Amino acid sequence: MPELYKEQIARLISQVPFMIDVDIQIGGRPPSLASSEFLTNKEQGDWAEKIVLTAVNEYSSEYLAVQYGRSETLAPGEEGFEEFYRRYQDELNNIGKRPDILIFRKSDVDPSCIDLDDDGTICRAVAAIEVRSSSFLVQRYEEYMETRTHSALAECERLRREILAEPLSSLLLQKSPELHRFLSAATPNTFRELEFRLRSWSSTSDLRRLSYLLRKLKEQIRILHKRDYLSITPKLEDLALVNRWIQQFNVRHYYLQVFFDKAYVIGFKDILEICSDPAKEDVLFSVERDVKNQGKTTIKINVQGGREILGRIDMPKHHSVMKELERGRLLFYVTFESGKGYLDEEVFMREIINDV
């Protein structure tokens, strides 16, 4: 008998080499104050979700994308927020993290009256999508990173040649034969592999010069070691909460990362498989404690590990808005409207609808 989707996910969750607490219970006090950044991020996330909903529904006469995640507009500090926050925590502890969008075959539901509170209706969805937004332009980011890498490699090569010129070459051979051998054979493909401890030689001007050049070389190698890809970023905590929802409803789940010019999709199953493969760490994913997420452990999957599902997004209009809280505190934030995403129909059908 074929393994059910939820059984595949449960098996993969158990194999992920990180501590994922599948029985996690979410608690804690609700935040007491909103910030302008919080409100802007929420507006951007809502805009990204609309872009995806509209792109799917404009494309397909057979499939229907429906908003499923929470859509309340309450912010910390507003009346009713604490009650909303507690209800949300109860929901996470009961059924897990709702995806933002569900996709149905129109033949399976009545589009005019879909009951999203009915478990049987939810189970008829063909896919669930968690929409994430990011304030980057993919093409500009990739161009910048390519230039940065080329510049660092060129500087590594320049420094290598200067270090291996006499009299510094003989000095390095005396002080560190191993480093001398590595630099003698170094190519642009091997500079990232170079690790050495900096020494501060200062007894002669040549040794001081050698120490200075090695320090500069180390700085350029650090640039080469920096993460140079945009990412899809599920928190470790979210993996457990998404799994809880999947175990309840057995609907295939996807992350869809929306940038301001493109969007990428990747299956939740693929995320688990990628981050379970040590050979792919620092190549296709990294694990970081993200200061933007209260220091929570975050898996950062290279978007190129997914598929480009919106090959073009028209830039939205953006406006400044003022919000007055009860105590007279004013918050200024950005809202987004219009814009359009252009769905790659082949990717939509292959990666989401016909995924097995």
Sorted by where each begins, the domain ranges of the chain are 5-136+230-353, 141-225
For residues 9 and 292, the model is more confident at 9
Rounded Cα distance between 341 and 310, Å, is 6
pLDDT digits (tens, 9 = 90+) for 196-232: 888 889 899 999 999 999 999 999 999 998 888 999 9
Rounded Cα distance between 91 and 249, Å, is 14
Q: For residue 324, what pLDDT is reported? A: 82
Q: In this structure, what DSSP letter does residue 167 have?
A: T
The answer to whether the CB of 66 falls within 8 A of the CB of 114 is yes
Structure tokens at 316: 């939205």
For residues 75 and 182, the model is more confident at 182
Report the alpha-carbon angle 100-285-68, nearest 5: 5
Q: For residue 136, what pLDDT is reported? A: 95
Q: For residue 79, what pLDDT is reported? A: 74
Q: For residue 61, what pLDDT is reported? A: 82
- Reply yes or no on whether the pLDDT at 75 is more than 90: no
- Reply yes or no on whether the pLDDT at 293 is more than 60: no
Q: For residue 292, what pLDDT is reported? A: 60
Mean pLDDT of 327-354: 89
Report the alpha-carbon angle 276-279-285, nearest 5: 65
Phi/psi-derived region of residue 90, left when phi > 0, alpha when psi is between -120 and 50, beta in every other case: alpha
Q: Worst-scoring range by mean pLDDT, 35-44, 67-76, 173-182, 295-304?
A: 67-76
Percent of the chain with pLDDT over 90: 62
Mean pLDDT of 317-334: 86
Rounded Cα distance between 90 and 182, Å, is 58
Mean pLDDT of 9-27: 89
Q: Which long-range contacts (CB under 8 A, 24 or more apart) does 219-224 make?
A: 220/152, 220/155, 220/156, 220/159, 220/191, 221/152, 221/156, 221/191, 221/192, 221/194, 223/148, 223/149, 223/152, 224/149, 224/152, 224/153, 224/156, 224/191, 224/192
- Reply yes or no on whether the pLDDT at 31 is more than 80: no
pLDDT interval class at 3 (50, 70, 90): confident
pLDDT interval class at 111 (50, 70, 90): confident
pLDDT interval class at 294 (50, 70, 90): low
* Average pLDDT value for the chain: 90
Instruction: Give Cβ neighbours of residue 159 (< 8 Å, ≥ 6 apart).
Output: 213, 216, 217, 220
Instruction: Give Cβ neighbours of residue 314 (< 8 Å, ≥ 6 apart).
Output: 338, 339, 340, 341
pLDDT interval class at 291 (50, 70, 90): low
Mean pLDDT of 301-318: 94
- Reply yes or no on whether the pLDDT at 290 is more than 70: no
β-partners of residue 66 are 102
Alpha carbon of 322 to those of 186, 285, 337: distances in Å? 57, 39, 16
